[in-house]
Chain A
Amino acid sequence: MQPVLERIHHVEERLARILTSGWRNAGSEAQSLAAEASDLGETGLPELAALIDRVAQSQGETEALPAISLALSACRMLRARLAIDQPPPGRWEPLKPASAKGKGRRDELLPIARLPLVGQTVWACVGLSGSAPDQLILLADPPPPPPPTAGGGPGLIARLFGKAEQPSPPPAVPWLARTLSGHLRWQGRWPLGAGGEVQLQALLQPAWEEPPAEDDPLAGIGKVLAKGKWSDRQILMRSAARSLTIRKAEVADASAYVWPDPAVAAAFRAALPGRSWILLWEEGALTTPLALLEPSGLGHNAKVIHLAP
């Protein structure tokens, strides 16, 4: 098949050259077509041969243009039908897949709270770029909490949020206090409002990072929350158009909220009565409640109220 295809292609190129250089300048190119038509006829392509021969016999451009147009179209159709499906000669190798999976930069995220998502519980986390918030992430299959630290508990915030009284505290998730690192792998994309979106991710090779140093901006979040006295629009962390913000429930505009899942909205509405503070993710014009906050009071510390059990 290859020689026939080559011959057709050769004729096609000759026809294209004639059109490009003009019939007046075709000269020997046009004369050679008669012989090529004869060859194609002998190869078993009489119809194509007749079309090529018509070009060769043309007297002037008025006959040549329609003849060339038809012949070119026929060559192309025939080549499409007979096209070769073999790779060009040489040593072809499979595209080498990722050989160094898991290496390279590790993604870092700050767990915020539990959320319901189509029947499962995911963690709402803030993806970090340095210490700045980069995006809201929903984490599927979250890792187990870190073991209690040598200091006697899961960390400042966990202690403040109701775990310190237990004599031998079980491992608890250090919400908003310690970061997780690993390699994010995309699992899904959920719409947020009319134009926004949030990614559901898995975290490969997860590891809890050490609690932030005193001078780390992330440590400041813990201090603010532990204090239990907040103001409306208090920003916990912020980058260009994104922020993690505390809002007073009674002044916040609940109609502007967007939800990744109706179950989050339902849980929020169920948990809201009697609560005053909301922890929000704001990105551009989109506002997504992630949890409720309960300030410290007589006999209890400040608490994160999750929207999923």
Chain B
Amino acid sequence: MGFFSFLDREHTVAKPGYSRWLVPPAALCVHLCIGQAYALSVFNLPMTKLLGITASGPGDWKLTELGWIFSLAMLFLGGSAAVFGRWVEEGGPRRAMFTAGCLWAGGFFLSAFGVYIHNLWLIYLGYGVIGGCALGIGYISPVSTLIKWFPDRPGMATGMAIMGFGGGAFIASPLSVWLMGKFNTPTHVGVMETFMIMGAIYFCFMMVGAAIVRVPAPGWKPEGYVAPAAATKLISKNDVYVYDAVKTPQFWLIWWVLCLNVTAGIGVLGQASAMSQEMFPGVITPIAASGLVGLMSLFNMGGRFCWASVSDFIGRKNTYFVFMVLGFILYVTVPHAGSIGSVALFVFCFCIIISMYGGGFSTVPAYLKDMFGVRYVGAIHGLLLTAWSAAGIFGPVIVNYLREYNITHGVPKAQAYNNTMYIMAGLLVIGFICNFFVKAVADRYHMKANDPRLAGTAKA
């Protein structure tokens, strides 16, 4: 393994003078790439016309079949983050970023081959399974490293990286459209070439991240930073072993808090365009609705950084209380905005809701660090991401099912979403209760200095 020894954690320890502000761009190199997943839908229509070229022909793939690519990727994101979390934590960020880069590019190349021979199963395997594993490993790879470099601002540091995941689609979407336009001919849809080029670009980008990332030397702390002498009520100074963390009620309470917050957010995120047009017929046109989706994605990205940074000042638990209480008020306000025909109020509600959806993702690593310590926070975060996978199923199902139910029972389209909004508000009440019961982890779960499991991990 001599050739790959540069990936080892001990080869990534920062030398004196290294600036910790190089770590967020390293993390962004990975997150901006894997954030492409949010822009996968731009390939949907072109991939339904690979044989027919101008329109779907016999043997072309259907949208429902293509929808499984994203679902598989999300499923494997949660699964791989949970399974490989400990490996990521113990192997260090460079090994994880390198692996994620290889898998992500490999997934694109295999998918390109799948497009070339028109085999959907290869795309399921390439983007869905291999790419999904890259998403999971890449997503958690910089988390604990950032927290170690920024003990004074852990929320802001992880918020910066996770903001990149939200922003990745901003780059991927126009790039994909531009590349497909370049390779499109009257007899050929340029999806294969686009996949190949994007895979190559992402590989290079992620390798830069892997090259510049460093872990702090043991005992390092920022200049002038004085760690609190004693643990505060909800910020532990002790570490909890990754598989002990899942035995604590705190882990499952935070799991539900994240799951419910994300369920509520996903529920409106995927439906915003249709919902806005049906609630304001003739006022919000399809073009304006696409503008709303763009605006919401900006708030999603901005919320990731802003809310996580705010949590450094008001505390994680309080931040989630804000999400639940403010979210409840806003969800209940949406039907009112529809009834009085106020587009401005509707847009305001949705933008703030979606900023808190993003904020929920970015604040949770620091919440876990407060509860379970720094040592295994990346691995524990990986396990917690299964909540995201679960929410990815609950959210759209609740919104779609309720809408259909209302419409088949004679509710006008403009009001069909009202019950959904009230149910989302109800979910946030449950989230509030779960968050309320989060207390400090019991002493018996804390790792002792002579714990044999510490032998496998670096203390940095």
The finding on whether chains A and B are genuine partners in a shared complex, rather than unrelated, reads no
CB within 8 Å of A: which residues of B?
none
CB within 8 Å of B: which residues of A?
none
